[in-house]
Structure 1
């Protein structure tokens, strides 16, 4: 069964298919005939300069930008969730209620379980204001996964966190993806983050996808590995940044 919203099609199949997607803001073309396929279960990181259209593409896939959907075709899973850079928690709701927002009451046990998975067991009745920024983003991740989505869209979810917290969140996200196995599109400005997390990295430049690189690295993806550095240099060059040795 499929549901339609202009050019956006939500169906029971997993994975993402985008064809000839264009988005204009007045005279400016932000997305210019984008074609993209993400197979079921793949983790893709999307890089690009500020204003390149990364978040515009993500919003189209999330069904939050109908003008984009109206100028191309998109097929995404019905069960899609989004996690943003800020946690967007409801301050008047306790942690578990935030996780279960929009979910049926029957998902309560699932909410408790996923809070444990993100390291917040026993914090179900805490208020968002009692949590650190990293803890709030853990709640946001729990909320995005409690409904077992087939597609997880992440718009710079760790961009506001300090460097050490980001490293911890990277490890957490890898673990959560192994557990829940959604297809993932991660928008990020951080090349190292993209290479550390994704199965594949793509670059959006002047409205078009210009680079598409598989990331086939073993283990915990040590940034000092030559293969990691090779991919990093390729991506930095594509972004117009002079690579810096690590």
Structure 2
């Protein structure tokens, strides 16, 4: 199916199997303006099927704008080429967006038709560690549990592409660590293509296999993260990737003494 929006042809077609040459997302010369200001400037991007990609950028760089364009939520995006997106797309936001008047299972399967939707919803809740909470109201859940429910809602749709806009930004540090592990585990199990928008460089290096930096409406850095799992921030290669991305974002790293480094390494170990 193809739709035409502001000069842009948007095509939604079944995504190919992992490892195929085709992509879950392909944009060509994507443009988005807000008045006279161009947020996306003839942006080209290809995301392979089954690839986990993180998107970094300074505030106002257009990260969420790009995500909304890919999700088909922005009808003012234009481009002289194609925007091709996988057919089954799920979105996850910083706010879990659970409807307070629906119990948890009903939130998870909202909009999911066909026989067996309830069973699929229960299975998705079990996958994210919320087994037995299907009758709970959203206000009875912690912030971390609400984000788990949001992931279950994404999973129940069997997405070929998962778009996540800072889904852990509102969580405390310990809950974020747990959610990082859960997201990576679910990704390894289901293998959708993932585009994770984040401000957290460490989060990007820890979770993604490819990290992009958006600057002035274009991709300025495209970095492959070649680290085995489980990844640790104490790994020197992890630190090299981190420093490269921080430099691309214009963040200078403080110089520390040899004694300070040894003290830090001993603390995090």
Using the size of structure 2 for normalisation, the TM-score is 0.88
Kept after mapping to 1: 8 A contact 2:29/2:79 = no
User: Counterpart in 2 of 1:4?
Assistant: 3
SS in 2 for 1:66: coil
SS in 1 for 2:67: helix
1:90 pairs, out of 99, 113, 117, with 99
5+ residue gaps, structure 1, are none
| Distance in 1 separating the partners of 2:81 and 2:107 | 34
User: Counterpart in 2 of 1:20?
Assistant: 29
| Distance in 1 separating the partners of 2:183 and 2:170 | 16
Query: Residues 139 and 71 of structure 1: is their aligned pair in 2 closer, same or farther, counting only changes over 3 Å?
Result: farther
Kept after mapping to 1: 8 A contact 2:26/2:85 = yes
| Distance in 2 separating the partners of 1:75 and 1:12 | 10
1:56 is aligned to 2:65: yes
User: Counterpart in 1 of 2:75?
Assistant: 66
| Distance in 2 separating the partners of 1:105 and 1:169 | 30
2:205 pairs, out of 184, 188, 195, with 195
| Distance in 1 separating the partners of 2:223 and 2:88 | 27
Kept after mapping to 1: 8 A contact 2:28/2:79 = no
1:174 is aligned to 2:184: yes
1:235 pairs, out of 245, 255, 264, with 245
RMSD: 1.3
1:208 is aligned to 2:210: no
Kept after mapping to 1: 8 A contact 2:50/2:191 = yes
2:164 pairs, out of 143, 154, 173, with 154
SS in 2 for 1:59: helix
5+ residue gaps, structure 2, are 17-23, 257-263, 265-269
Q: Deviations over 1:28-82 (max 9, x none)?
A: 0100010011111000000000000000000000000011156653100110110
| Distance in 2 separating the partners of 1:153 and 1:219 | 22
| Distance in 2 separating the partners of 1:100 and 1:19 | 34
User: Counterpart in 2 of 1:134?
Assistant: 144
Who wins on radius of gyration, i.e. which is larger? 2
Moved over 3 A (4+): 69-72
| Distance in 2 separating the partners of 1:229 and 1:69 | 38
User: Counterpart in 1 of 2:19?
Assistant: none
**1:171 shift after superposition:** 0.2
SS in 1 for 2:112: coil
User: Counterpart in 1 of 2:87?
Assistant: 78
| Distance in 2 separating the partners of 1:27 and 1:69 | 14
1:144 is aligned to 2:143: no
Kept after mapping to 2: 8 A contact 1:18/1:37 = yes
